[in-house]
Amino acid sequence: MSELSITTTQNVNINFKAAHVGDRVLANILDNVIKGAYAMIFSYLIFDLAGLEDYMKDFDQWEQGTIYLIVYLPVIFYSLVFESMFEGQTPGKKIMKIKVIKLDGYQAGFGDYLMRWILRLVDIVTGFGIIGLIAMNVNKKNQRFGDMAAGTAVISLKNNISINHTILKEVHNNYVPIYPLVIKLSDNDVRIIKETYEASIRTTDFPMIERLQTKIENVTGIKSTSANAMAFVDTVLHDYNYYTQNM
């Protein structure tokens, strides 16, 4: 299993485990089973039980095609919708404990999922997935072409993620703190913040980091000037360490 070492803009080094090709294949099979079940059930309910197929006999080819397209839209947009709604996971990926993330360690966005979905035509649909399999096997990060284009990777959540940074360790003498109000926090507060922050990174739970930022701001009165929640919490921990070392 390949290891993805990511250094964020806050100099936080995160080592993810790239999802095994076999796990990705199994996740895709599970998703296909779900899509197949949907297609069978709704085909029966709409075309057979509701009798729509009898009415469609009088429709021309384009009208019939439009109806089929509408009925099977959930199958067509399955991966795009689920990955966008559930932060990089489809039901199959969730079962296999794998997830899509950006290579900078942050949460992928809709545009990233859209790019991956579009290139499924090349990776998975064309050649019955052979192209995608070849791409993942020759790529050190186990990326298919959709991942390469979107700047994403699929990671495994089954393994521990090692996070190496300077939080609550020695800070450089020339370090310049940004949020002096961090001194309102207690050692126990900071311990809880640190543990929550690290646990959220391990599980790529970015909404939790955003809630953590909100909680810190409410308690301390700090107004964030950082680029994002991850940068904010990282800076708060560095600042607290700076002030407590120099008190």
Residue 164 pLDDT: 47
Percent of the chain with pLDDT over 70: 87
Provide the pLDDT for residue 177.
86
Is 232 within 8 Å of 226 (Cβ atoms)? yes
- Percent pLDDT > 90 in the chain is 45
Confidence label for 216 from pLDDT (cuts 50, 70 and 90): very high
Distance CA 28, CA 20 (A): 13
Predicted local confidence at residue 171, as pLDDT: 66
CB atoms within 10 A of CB 138: 9
Q: Which of 77-91, 131-145, 163-177, 194-208 has the lowest mean pLDDT?
A: 163-177
For the segment 116-131, the average pLDDT, to the nearest whole number, is 92
Cα→Cα distances 146→102, 123, 124, Å: 12, 7, 10
Angle between the N-to-C axes of helices 78-85 and 21-43, in degrees from 0 to 180, rounded to the nearest 10: 110
* Residue 159 CB contacts under 8 Å (≥ 6 apart), including other chains: 1, 17
Check if the beta carbon of residue 34 is closer than 8 Å to that of residue 92.
Answer: yes
Q: How many residues does the chain have?
A: 247
The answer to whether residue 245 scores a pLDDT higher than 90 is no
55: phi then psi, degrees, rounded to nearest 5: -70, -30
Between residues 104 and 194, the one the model is more confident about:
194
The mean pLDDT value of the chain amounts to: 85
Each domain of the chain, given as residue ranges in start order, spans 3-156, 166-245
What's the rounded mean pLDDT across residues 133-162? 86
Lowest mean pLDDT among 2-11, 121-130, 141-150, 224-233: 2-11
pLDDT of residue 60: 83
Average of per-residue pLDDT across 95-100:
93
Instruction: Provide the whole-model pTM.
Output: 0.67
Mean pLDDT, residues 92-121 taken together: 90
